[in-house]
Amino acid sequence: MNQAKTETMVNGYSSKAVVVDDPKLLQQKKAAIRLMGPSKFQVIADFDNTLTRFWVDGCRGQSSHGLLQQENPVYNAKRDELFNYYHPIEFDPQLPIDEKTKLMEEWWGKTHGLLIEGGLTYDAIRNSVSSALIAFREGVVELFEYLEERDIPVLIFSAGLADIIEEVLRQKLHRTFKNVKIVSNRMKFDQNGNLVSFTGKLIHSLNKNEHALDMAASLHEELGETDDQIIDSASLKKRTNVLLLGDHMGDLRMSDGLNYETRISVGFLNHNIENSLDNYRKGYDIVYLHDAPMSGVVKLVSELFPASD
Q: 6: which strand partners?
A: 19
- SS3 of residue 157 by DSSP: strand
The answer to whether 218 and 238 have CB atoms below 8 angstroms apart is: no
Choice among 46, 247, 285, 291 that is catalytic: 46
Choice among 21, 48, 251, 291 that is catalytic: 48
In angstroms, the CA 123 to CA 102 distance is 32
In angstroms, the CA 204 to CA 181 distance is 17
In angstroms, the CA 234 to CA 217 distance is 10
Q: How many CB atoms lie within 10 A of CB 235?
A: 10
CA distances, 301 to each of 55, 136, 145, 197 (Å): 25, 18, 11, 39
Secondary structure letter of residue 272 according to DSSP? -
- SS3 of residue 280 by DSSP: helix
In angstroms, the CA 198 to CA 196 distance is 7
Amino acid in the structure at residue 307: A
- Examine the residue annotation and report whether 227 is marked as an active-site residue of this protein: no
**Who contacts 209 (Cβ-Cβ below 8 Å, separation ≥6)?**
157, 253, 254, 255, 256, 257
The answer to whether 241 and 41 have CB atoms below 8 angstroms apart is: yes
- Examine the residue annotation and report whether 48 is marked as an active-site residue of this protein: yes
- SS3 of residue 156 by DSSP: strand
**Residue positions annotated with a catalytic role:** 46, 48
